[in-house]
Amino acid sequence: MKILVTGGAGYIGSHSCIELAASNHQVVILDNLCNASLVSIARAEKLAGTRFPLHRIDLRDGEAVHRLFEREHFDAVVHFAALKAVGESVEKPLDYYDNNVVGSIHLLQAMRAHGCKRLVFSSSATVYGNPDSVPVNEDAPLRVTNPYGRTKLVTEDMIRDACAADPQFSAILLRYFNPVGAHPSGEIGEDPRGIPNNLMPYICQVAVGRRDHLGVFGGDWPTVDGTGVRDYIHVVDLARAHADAINALEYARHPATTLNLGTGQGISVLQLVRAFEQARVRAFEQASGRKVPCEIVARRAGDVAAVYADPRRAKEVIGWQAARGVDEMCVDAWRWQSRNPEGYGAA
Ligand code: NAD
Ligand code: UDP
């Protein structure tokens, strides 16, 4: 199929373009590069051995999105493009609604106008908020706690409504848990701008010497060691799920099916730090290398103790399950970070 990948220059999008190409799909990228670099596309093309033509379009520009669908026929869309920083969304909620919700409306309108009937959407485990129990399955109550999460839930609802209104329209909504790691080549990976909000990129930047220690947000959570527990998932496994979802849509209708993407394993902050240190020693023989000094600091506003997935539905519906463990996540994250200490910026 010919697939439009919105946000295809970004962290998860660039890995997913490679997996879609490996599944013999033709990939076209739409990205405004507000949080990505052209270098990621060039490197992903090299890894995939094929071209990923880029349309530098902002989804908020409905006319431009429309014109693209007029010029090219797409069989399906994988929709990653969004702003994703929770804290920033609290400060600038309207920017988030504008970018993530209005952008998605333009995309859905263009798809409807041009008869494109298959969609895979990037949602997030953030829609579960503080779950009553773990592991969380897809039927758990939805309780978003910040504007970013609300943009995801509103977009999920719009897609469900679009599916209900058009029996031919088919969509898979993927709720990611905590994507980490990088392509095993070390050529593409996560390149956050400024101070990382997320744990793994922060650990990597401490390890590479860009920051001197990790602040651990709370040491008194009701968890195995008092630190927060999450379900980390290797970005290549996550990327493969998009190819599996697209392939499932090629042959069957999925009236707005929602799937969790996680490993089902909960890992604490300190367990991840130790795993990272050990993986580094084992894989890179950097026994005398820099440790990751940690300091317990105050809890972060809005954080929750433990969230991890029940990922069984993804296996039943699209035949997907995570294959890579925490060791591989850490080795690949470090390979990317150590070869690209300044991310794509220095390339
Ligand atoms: P990313 O910022 O690396 O990628 C998003 C891409 O979308 C970027 O290349 C950016 O330039 C582009 N973009 C943003 N707004 C756009 C617009 N209006 N028009 C065109 N392009 C636009 O983020 P990512 O980590 O790869 O996340 C991809 C998707 O997965 C997002 O929807 C995000 O909300 C979702 N998600 C990410 C995580 C995570 O931890 N990384 C977790 C759950 C869900
Ligand atoms: N965390 C931390 N220090 C940091 C960043 C994150 O202790 O600098 C903790 C955070 O409190 C949570 C876990 O690491 O328990 C994962 O945080 P992240 O922001 O990566 O994911 P999310 O909380 O959105 O699931």
**Quick check: helix, strand or coil at residue 89?**
helix
Asked if residue 338 is part of any domain, the answer here is: no
- Identify the nearest ligand to the CA of 55 by its number: 1
Q: Which two tokens stand for residue 281?
A: 């020693």
Asked if residue 193 is part of any domain, the answer here is: no
- Regarding the beta carbon of 40 and ligand 1, being less than 6 Å apart is answered no
As for how many domains the chain has, the answer is: 1
Q: Which residues are catalytic?
A: 148
Asked if residue 94 is part of any domain, the answer here is: yes
Tell me how far apart the alpha carbons of residues 310 and 313 are, in angstroms, rounded to a whole number.
8
Q: Is the pLDDT at 285 greater than 80, yes or no?
A: no
Query: Which residue owns the Cα nearest ligand 2 atom 18?
Result: 198
- Regarding the beta carbon of 122 and ligand 2, being less than 6 Å apart is answered no
Query: Which residue owns the Cα nearest ligand 2 atom 12?
Result: 228
Asked if residue 191 is part of any domain, the answer here is: no
pTM above 0.85, yes or no: yes
- Regarding the beta carbon of 59 and ligand 1, being less than 6 Å apart is answered yes
Q: Which domain holds residue 26?
A: 2-184+233-264+310-323
- Identify the nearest ligand to the CA of 261 by its number: 1
Tell me how far apart the alpha carbons of residues 136 and 128 are, in angstroms, rounded to a whole number.
8
Asked if residue 225 is part of any domain, the answer here is: no
Query: What pLDDT does 105 receive?
Result: 98
The torsion region of residue 343 among left (phi > 0), alpha (psi -120 to 50) and beta comes to: left
Q: Is the pLDDT at 288 greater than 90, yes or no?
A: no
Tell me how far apart the alpha carbons of residues 44 and 27 are, in angstroms, rounded to a whole number.
11
If you average pLDDT over residues 77-96, what whole number do you get?
Answer: 97
If you average pLDDT over residues 317-342, what whole number do you get?
Answer: 96
Q: Are strands 294-297 and 267-268 parallel, antiparallel or unpaired?
A: unpaired
Which pLDDT band holds residue 287 (cuts at 50, 70, 90)? low
Query: Which residue owns the Cα nearest ligand 2 atom 21?
Result: 198
Asked if residue 167 is part of any domain, the answer here is: yes
Ligand 1 site-directed mutation target among 6, 12, 68, 235, most atoms within 8 Å of CB? 12
Please give the full DSSP string across 177-219, using - where no structure is assigned.
-EEE---TTSSS----SSS--SHHHHHHHHHTTSSS-EEEE-S
Indicate which atom in ligand 1 lies nearest the CA of residue 36: 9
Contacting residues for 204 by C-beta, under 8 A, at least 6 apart: 333, 334, 336, 337
Residue recorded with tokens 């609604």? 97
CB–CB of 202/283 below 8 Å? no
Instruction: Give tens-digit pLDDT for 108-148.
Output: 999 999 999 999 999 999 999 999 999 999 999 999 999 99
Indicate which atom in ligand 2 lies nearest the CA of residue 214: 8
- Regarding the beta carbon of 191 and ligand 1, being less than 6 Å apart is answered no
Residue recorded with tokens 């029996």? 167
For ligand 2, the distance from its centroid to the CA atom of residue 129, given in whole angstroms, is: 14
CATH, residue 97: 3.40.50.720
Asked if residue 141 is part of any domain, the answer here is: yes
Q: First vs last Cα of the chain: how many Å apart?
A: 32
- Regarding the beta carbon of 271 and ligand 2, being less than 6 Å apart is answered no
Asked if residue 83 is part of any domain, the answer here is: yes
Task: Report CA-CA distances (Å) from 234 to 13, 190, 214, 281, 336.
Answer: 13, 12, 21, 20, 13
Instruction: Give tens-digit pLDDT for 208-266.
Output: 899 999 999 999 999 999 999 999 999 999 999 999 999 999 988 888 999 999 999 99
